[in-house]
Structure 1
């Protein structure tokens, strides 16, 4: 593993672990801000809990688990995708700068919105990072290419071995008649 991955993943994960722990411990602090986003989502997805505090805790748990996994390098691509998916509603709920009336509050929320957008970019890069190992798609394509090549070699070998046998069979047929 490169030094950049070794240092970069925990640095990226730290914000999620800290924020997730806060959401797990005190969901009532975040619930009023999350309510405008949580209601429409909870109404459309029946498997999600009905109470906003429960969804805030669930989101916090995903942030903690995903952050720890990303930071430790355990299933980092999956962890990055999970964190990116949960970052969208978090950002839309907490940093609605377009709704802020006060110019200083608007500027502050815009900064947080762009910070989350930057973190989303980092997570998408982490989700695409194979750690210098070929992806499953690449491995599958090359395995299929190798199989086609091997099949072609077998076909050529069978044809090359069959020619003398055909000739010998033709000569034997002439002699036996």
Structure 2
């Protein structure tokens, strides 16, 4: 791992770990802002999810805020430590969407000052989302699955062509040797 990655991952994840832990411990201050988003999101999730998962979605907004906070803590720790970093970044990106929509709906603010402040926070979260998307696709300089699959297929095709050419050369060589052996046998037959 490079020095930049070793520094960037914990720096990117620290806000999620701290704010997520605060949400788990004390969700009440966030419930009022989260309520309109959870009222819309929970029925959609329950319909889209398989029954065994949909039935386990918490009913109260406070528990949903806690669940989102727990997801941020787990994802943040995974990203910061590098263990499950891409999955952790994906979890953080998924948790950031409802957090941003609930917490920074600048379009609903009445005063210019509040609207400007919430717009800045909304754009900050967009920047965090950009960093998380980069973390999701970061393969640490190693080829990704798609690259390996396409290049593996090309390498297999190349090796197959080489094998076919080698087999043809071998067959021609064997044919020449067989002809030479047949001539030699014929010559020995005439001498004998």
SS at match of 2:7: helix
Determine which structure has more spread, i.e. the larger CA radius of gyration: 2
- The equivalent of 2:70 in structure 1 is 61
Matched, 1:159 2:176: no
Q: Deviations over 1:143-166 (max 9, x none)?
A: 222111111111011111112434
Q: Which residue of 2 aligns with 1:72?
A: 81
The equivalent of 2:33 in structure 1 is 33
Q: State the Cα distance separating 1:21 from its structure 2 match.
A: 0.3
Q: 1:149: which partner in 2?
A: 158
- Unaligned runs of at least 5 residues, structure 2: 47-53, 187-192
Alpha carbon RMSD of aligned pairs, Å? 2.0
Counterpart in the other structure of 1:113: 122
TM-score by length of 2: 0.84
**Structure 2 residue matching 1:45: 3-state secondary structure:** helix
TM-superposed deviation, 1:70: 0.6
Q: Given the alignment of the two structures, is residue 21 of structure 1 paired with residue 30 of structure 2, yes or no?
A: no
Runs of 4+ in 1 over 4 A off after TM superposition: 167-172
CA offsets 1:8-38 (integer angstroms, 9 cap, x no match): 1101100000110011001122111101111
Deviation at 1:49, TM superposition (A): 2.0
Q: Which runs of 5+ in 1 are unaligned?
A: none
Deviation at 1:168, TM superposition (A): 5.6
Distance across 2 between alignment mates of 1:67 and 1:167: 69
By how many angstroms is 1:169 displaced?
A: 5.5
Aligned pair count reads 176
Distance in 2 of aligned mates of 1:54 and 1:147:
52
Distance 2:136 2:45 in 1: 25
